[in-house]
């Protein structure tokens, strides 16, 4: 299938990054949001990202204008009816996603490929809300999308081989490196990464070391770009909490059970970078500092 027109539902931090890299790949993109405010904010993020590329010389001014000319926004789901591929990047709630895809299924042409950017929810369950389970995949991008090269392409038992190849080719065409995974909770990266972050939370809560020293040890001892607790803040503690619940339910494995400290922090609104407080104080995003002293958990 030749993909020319791509729809993206949701233009938050992830959605806007996905839109930007698709525009860089030379596609026409239509973004759908739930309100005028969210749409304006999302399009502004995309325009800012494109402007940065132009300012750094990564693209010419003409390329910048052409990219933005290929972008449109809408509040009407029906405007996505002619898209060849639709990528969903809305809130990580399975019922919201199922309702969205069910609506799209009744609007879009039969050959349209549906894809979800979910990090852990069941692609199979989402696809079952449609009549096109064979044309449904996961396309899991990583944050920040313009900088992170990986895309997990997730196949279900029903996904047609041609659709899998179309998804892999599409990811390559927008400058990403795709890896193929089967539909199981966590896919590849989160399946392996989540226990690592949860173990770091247990270590901090049990007084093994301070937040800062745990992260420093993993950075310097394992040559990681950032420690597990700072990474958790960056991803979003609420996102991790929801993801580990999904994985714990699927695998019944204690490695994925959310630690009490994680649940407590999410309950009081400490979600990490996006709320300015998690395991670190992010009041100055360029200089995050651990805010909980040893023993305060």
Tens of pLDDT, residue by residue over 104-147, are 999 999 999 999 999 989 999 999 999 999 999 999 999 899 99
CA-nearest of 58, 115, 127, 53 to 83 is 115
CA-nearest of 7, 8, 13, 46 to 239 is 13
pLDDT band at 292 (very low <50, low <70, confident <90, very high): low
Pair of tokens at residue 118: 């979910």
76 is catalytic: no
Residues 6+ apart with CB under 8 A from 282: 233, 272, 273, 276, 288
Tens of pLDDT, residue by residue over 246-281, are 999 999 999 999 999 999 999 999 999 999 999 999
- What's the rounded Cα separation, in Å, for the pair 102 and 108? 10
Q: Which of 16, 64, 116, 190 is catalytic?
A: 190
Q: Which of 119, 120, 127, 270 is catalytic?
A: 119
pLDDT band at 296 (very low <50, low <70, confident <90, very high): low
- With beta carbons less than 8 A apart as the criterion, state whether 124 and 152 touch: no
- With beta carbons less than 8 A apart as the criterion, state whether 70 and 27 touch: yes
pLDDT band at 291 (very low <50, low <70, confident <90, very high): confident
CA-nearest of 175, 177, 144, 168 to 16 is 144
pTM exceeding the 0.85 threshold for the entire prediction: yes
What average pLDDT does the segment 205-224 reach?
95
Coil, strand or helix at 209: coil
Query: Percent of the chain scored above 70 by pLDDT?
Result: 98
- With beta carbons less than 8 A apart as the criterion, state whether 204 and 229 touch: yes
Q: Which of 88, 117, 152, 242 is catalytic?
A: 152
Tens of pLDDT, residue by residue over 29-53, are 999 999 999 999 999 999 999 999 9
Tens of pLDDT, residue by residue over 76-97, are 999 999 999 999 999 989 999 9
**Quick check: 243 pLDDT over 60?**
yes
Kindly give the residue spans of alpha helices, DSSP state H, lying in the chain: 13-24, 36-55, 61-69, 94-105, 123-127, 161-173, 189-205, 211-222, 228-235, 237-251, 260-267
Query: Percent of the chain scored above 90 by pLDDT?
Result: 95
- What average pLDDT does the structure give for the chain? 95
Pair of tokens at residue 38: 């969210």
190 is catalytic: yes
**Quick check: 294 pLDDT over 90?**
no
Q: Which residue has the higher pLDDT, 294 or 171?
A: 171
119 is catalytic: yes
């Amino acid at each position: 299938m030749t993909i020319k027109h791509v729809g993206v539902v949701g233009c938050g931090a992830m959605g806007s990054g996905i839109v930007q890299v698709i525009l860089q790949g030379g596609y026409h993109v239509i973004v759908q949001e739930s309100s005028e405010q969210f749409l304006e904010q999302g399009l502004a993020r995309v325009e800012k990202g494109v402007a940065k590329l132009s300012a750094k010389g990564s693209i010419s001014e003409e390329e910048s204008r052409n990219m933005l000319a290929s972008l449109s926004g809408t509040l009407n789901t029906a405007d996505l009816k002619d898209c060849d591929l639709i990528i969903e990047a809305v809130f990580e709630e399975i019922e919201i996603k199922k309702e969205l895809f069910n609506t799209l299924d009744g609007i879009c042409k039969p050959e349209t490929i549906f894809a979800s950017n979910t990090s852990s929810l069941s692609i199979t369950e989402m696809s079952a809300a449609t009549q096109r389970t064979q044309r449904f995949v996961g396309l899991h991008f990583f944050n920040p999308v313009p900088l992170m090269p990986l895309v997990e392409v997730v196949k279900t038992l029903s996904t047609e081989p041609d659709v899998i190849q179309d998804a892999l080719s599409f990811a390559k065409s927008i400058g990403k490196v795709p890896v193929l995974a089967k539909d199981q909770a966590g896919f590849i990266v989160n399946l392996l990464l989540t226990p690592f972050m949860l173990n770091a939370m247990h270590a901090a809560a049990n007084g093994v070391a301070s937040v800062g020293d745990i992260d420093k040890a993993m950075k310097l001892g394992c040559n990681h770009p950032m420690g597990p607790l700072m990474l958790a803040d960056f991803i979003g503690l609420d996102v991790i909490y929801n993801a580990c619940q999904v994985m714990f339910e699927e695998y019944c494995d204690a490695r994925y059970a959310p630690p009490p400290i994680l649940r407590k922090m999410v309950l009081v609104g400490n979600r990490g970078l996006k709320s300015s407080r998690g395991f670190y104080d992010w009041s100055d995003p360029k200089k995050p500092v651990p805010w909980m002293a040893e023993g305060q958990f």
